[in-house]
Amino acid sequence: MNYFKYANGELFCENIKVEEIAEYVGTPFYLYSMKTLKKHYTVFHEAFSPVPHIICFSVKANSNLSVLKTFFDMGGGADVVSGGELYRALKAGAPSEKIVYSGVGKTEEEIKYALGKNILFFNVESEGEIYNLDKIAYSIKKKARIALRVNPDIDPRTHSYISTGLKENKFGIRIEEAKEMYIKAKKLNNIEIVGVDCHIGSQITEIEPFIQALKKVLSLIDQVKKEGIRINFLDLGGGLGITYKDETPPYPDIYAGKIINEIKTRDLNLILEPGRAIVGNAGILVTRVLHTKKGEGKDFVIIDAAMNDLVRPSFYGSFHEIKPVKPTKRGEITADVVGPVCETGDFLAKKRKMQEVLPGELLAVMSAGAYGFTMSSNYNSRPRVPEVMVMDDRYYIIRRRETYKDLIRGEEIPEELFKL
């Protein structure tokens, strides 16, 4: 359910024409619908209402301050994985008691920053990290609240690059070793054990892997209880998939229902870290056709957006639907939709059946709200594109287009180079 819909022969975002925004801000740009963001957050939150929970939005999916503020204002928290994400979350008004910090490689500087801000807890991913946290917490006279991120060795049946809960993946502590690790952590003076965490992957479209992982984690909770260790928070990570093409992921209420069923008799606070499920279908990338040309058995549609703006198709072979902003009655073509970047891997779609388009026309690359802008780069010295938020019949530029000056910000030419 989202608010990108056709009316009177053209694409609208809520109550405003996409074309009107394109005329004003230029192309390409990311466009988000506030109503969709709020709707998705609310559906997720309400699905878990029978149990105590916090929705810690996964900042990596979309870290724009206005997007984050929207969720924090609705009572959400944040899942962060770097000092930079923590900074953004706090700037956007995240309550520190609703921030969890994950990631396999946190630096001393990042740990001190998070301890200083009194975040809810760290998701710890290795034995070394526990000792490190203890030492750093001691040095600044703090106690570090922790959850162990366990790796349950469950196949989430998703793209191998975004599978995280298999034993060959770098994430988490092997579940067989977790009990021993809890016992060791309990002995440390500056560590307070508060929870257990598990995140098995992303774009997961079936419920079973989540439940299999959950069962393993619940059994671990029972084992450590016998050692006198009480687990208060159960963090189940993110990972719920969305429909890009014809996937049929479980709706949040089904996903939540099955989870609640497993934990309802337990005294646990649930933490969820959804990213894609909340923002994925709340954003699109709007781009303009620059040229079209005939290729071998297919056409090329050359657009002004490229892999540096949306890398998912090049990186994971992901499918994003591409729709004309103003559909016509022209016939169908089979085309590679490609950008101006000098890489053969620069494409947003391959051999796509689509309506014939002409230079100057606008296209909407759908489902681009998650891992779109956040994974964009300046490759080929292309300024990063603006982000725009629609609220009913109004729109706001929530991040301006970068300028050429922005591209060289921070660079310096040493004096010596002028003397050569």
Residues lying near ligand LLP in the complex (CB under 6 A)? 58, 60-61, 79, 102, 162, 199, 202-203, 237-240, 273-277, 312, 316, 370-371, 375
> Considering the complex, what minimum distance in angstroms separates the CB of residue 28 from ligand LLP?
18
CA distance 117 to 171: 25
- How deeply is 109 buried, as exposed, middle or buried, from its count of CB atoms within 10 A (0-12, 13-18, 19+)? exposed
Return the closest-CA partner of residue 110 out of 146, 78, 83, 88: 83
CB atoms within 10 A of CB 195: 24
Rank residues 165 and 324 by Cβ distance to ligand LLP and give the closer one: 165
> Considering the complex, what minimum distance in angstroms separates the CB of residue 279 from ligand LLP?
8
The C-alpha angle 31, 33, 36, rounded to 5 degrees, equals 140
If you write DSSP's letter for every residue of 101-165 in order, what string do you get? E--S---HHHHHHHHHTT-SEEEE-SHHHHHHHHHHHHHTT--EEEEEEEE------S-GGGB-S
- Tokens 């770098």, residue located: 170
> Considering the complex, what minimum distance in angstroms separates the CB of residue 147 from ligand LLP?
11
β-partners of residue 4 are 13
> Considering the complex, what minimum distance in angstroms separates the CB of residue 200 from ligand LLP?
10
Rank residues 11 and 234 by Cβ distance to ligand LLP and give the closer one: 234
> Considering the complex, what minimum distance in angstroms separates the CB of residue 174 from ligand LLP?
17
- How deeply is 262 buried, as exposed, middle or buried, from its count of CB atoms within 10 A (0-12, 13-18, 19+)? middle
**Is 13 an annotated catalytic residue?**
no
Q: Which residues are CB-contacts of 380 (< 8 A; sequence separation ≥ 6)?
A: 306, 308, 340, 341, 342
Out of 13, 56, 198, 342, the active site residue is 342
CA distance 291 to 160: 35
Whether the Cβ atoms of residue 286 and residue 29 lie closer than 8 Å to each other: yes
Whether the Cβ atoms of residue 336 and residue 298 lie closer than 8 Å to each other: yes
Rank residues 182 and 255 by Cβ distance to ligand LLP and give the closer one: 255
> Considering the complex, what minimum distance in angstroms separates the CB of residue 58 from ligand LLP?
4
Radius of gyration, CA atoms only, the chain:
23
Largest CA distance in the chain: 75
Active site residues: 342
